[in-house]
Structure 1
Amino acid sequence: MDSTSDFLQRMDQYQTFLVMEKGLGEKTIAAYSADLMRFGLFLEKKKTDRVSHIDTGLILAYLIHLRNRGLSARSRARHLVSLRGFFKFLTNEKIVEKDPAQQVDLPKTGLQLPDVLTISDVEALLDAPDRNQPEGLRDAAMLELIYGAGLRVSELIRLAMTGINLEAGFVRVFGKGSKERVVPVGRMALNAIREYLDRSRPLLLKNRSSADLFVTRRGRAMTRQSFWNLVGRYARQAKLKKKISPHSLRHSFATHLLEGGADLRAVQMMLGHADISTTQIYTHVAQRQLVEAHKKYHPRG
């Protein structure tokens, strides 16, 4: 790496800070420096030099890179701690305006990358409910919608009758921070919802009224836990080997759109992400799958 690199200069400043202000020992500083140097080499491959150009998506890509190189969850967590300290220093010193490492969460079990289903897995899951039963029609409509619109579980179960426009083909949901967004809904999901409204919802309500779109036999909105349980049940019924959660369908929605050529900004708006860096992780997942497909199927891969 070029000795005049902006990244290296900021690293030198940070090391001085650790010695003079924090009073850390040689071994601790050497460990932090080794972690940062490894990140610096990654930046060099990405042709990124200035620390002001580093965003959350790039840090996520680096952690995925470390995982692909075989580093354990504990080692990746240590690297993230080193990066957090470095960027906290840069932010406090007004060298960068925004801390890109602050949004990255690495739990004890390791970096939780999105669980992405294949399209055939999704089809098997969506075909699992028995559409001859009222609950099966409801469950099918809910599964179609959470995948078809990339909703969060909380958004799905709180969806009101007034929140869906079947004619125009969209849902109006309230996401994190009660932010409203409008998301288009595909034909399959719209058909499943129409069928549920015609043949299932009246039987579940039994002359009761409800403002909620999806209801139980008690005439109430489905709970978050109940929906988690039914997703698990249908995943087992579909004989899916992956561990599936409702969020897996949201992740799959985003990844499948990007793999199909959708614009990142459009996906960001549909997911309701305030910051596009949160959406960028799906591009890394999609790119990794493309690389794997190329290696597997190309004659010179």
Structure 2
Amino acid sequence: MNPLVKEYSDYLRIEKRQSPNTIEAYCRDLSRFVRFFSDKDLFDLTTNDIRGFLLSLRDEELSPSSIARSLSSIKSFYRYLFQDKQLKINPAEILETPGRLRKLPNVLSISDVEKLLNCPDTGTVIGLRDQAMLEVLYATGMRVSELVSVKGNNLDMLAGCLRTMGKGSKERIVPIGMVARKVLEDYLLNSRPVLAKGHKVEELFLTRRAKPMTRQGFWKILKNYVKQCNIKTDVSPHTLRHAFATHLLDRGADLRSVQQMLGHSDISTTQIYTHVLDKRMLEVYDRFHPRGSGAF
């Protein structure tokens, strides 16, 4: 890794307390940037040089969101160098992140969610665990990285809530519905002790080997159930988070409450879910209104 990028990643980890996943994303973007200018000193780059790099990304047919993220990483990197007085002029300062059309997330219907949540075989310890993970993810809207990091003492079954650590090491409390609580109780009584095999493990969800569940492990489990249920929508661990938010808003929840439950620092991030509802509203209008496109 380039020494400056390494220095910056240490700054993100120690001073900014960014999550490992966020730091990895920044470093990945900056490594591509450094490779592009392998014959130049990063301190000598001009605004036009950086613009040229961004154009090269477009030529490589990277998506607008990927280019915007890359620019955001570069701006943050040079802001650090400037504030640390390693640079007299910040060449990335005047570059503006292009307004981007966010891709609307795939949203599972309530019936598809029901199929997915009921898919695990609850007659087995693995099925009990899998159903508990799926129910908690949908009940709380947590990120999968938060789900696999949940510890037993983060859970308050009596109050019906769970404490989780989100991006930037920000702690939040999220409610858990009655259905998810019952499934969790079943897992804690009849599955987790078997999976733990007498070992003391802090994490709530365990693998067959009495180790904490991983993001990759959960992703494989989810893909298997999606296939079993014959769900046609593209599904990722984040899809249940999207479904959580959209289904809440669809039933009248206010945007600010959903923002808090998701752990979004900026409400504009949450607002993408209102666009999903707007799109659905237009589809309903076109299909059923006498003067909609479905009438012709």
TM-score range, shorter chain: 0.5 to 0.7
Q: Please give the residue correspondences for 1:152-301 in structure 2 after superposition, counting only pairs within 5 Å.
A: 152-298=143-289, 301=292
Deviations 1:167-200 (Å, cap 9, x if unpaired)? 1111100000110000111111111111100111
Tell me the TM-score normalised to structure 1 length: 0.65
Q: Give CA deviations for 1:231-266 in whole Å, capped at 9, x if unaligned.
A: 110000000011110100001111111111110000
Q: How much does 1:286 deviate?
A: 1.2
The residue type paired with residue 110 of structure 2 is I
Q: Which amino acid aligns with 1:131?
A: T
Does 2:137 match 1:146? yes
> TM-score, length-normalised on structure 2?
0.66
Listed as ranges, the gaps of 5+ residues in structure 2 are 1-46, 49-60, 76-93
The structure-2 alpha-carbon separation of the partners of 1:217 and 1:285, relative to structure 1 and needing over 3 Å to count, comes to: same
Please state whether the residue corresponding to 1:182 is helix, strand or coil: strand
- Percent identity for Structure 1 against Structure 2: 50
What do residues 13-58 of structure 1 show as CA deviations (whole Å, max 9, x unaligned)? xxxxxxxxx99xxxxxxxxxxxxxxxxxxxxxxxxxxxxxxxxxxx
Q: Residue 133 of structure 1 corresponds to which residue in structure 2?
A: 124
Write the letter of the residue equivalent to 2:257. Answer: A
Q: Structure 2: how far apart are the matches of 1:103 and 1:150?
A: 29
> Structure 1 residue 113: deviation in Å?
2.3
Deviation at 1:104, TM superposition (A): 6.2
CA, structure 1 residues 252+171, in 2 after alignment: closer, same or farther (shift >3 Å)? same
SS, match of residue 271 in structure 2: helix
Structure 1 residue 297: Cα displacement: 3.6
Q: In the comparison of the two structures, how many residue pairs are matched?
A: 216
CA distance in 2, matches of 1:289, 1:199: 41
Shift of 1:105: 6.3
Q: Answer whether contact 2:164 2:171 (CA < 8 A) is retained.
A: yes
Partner of 2:162, secondary structure, is: strand
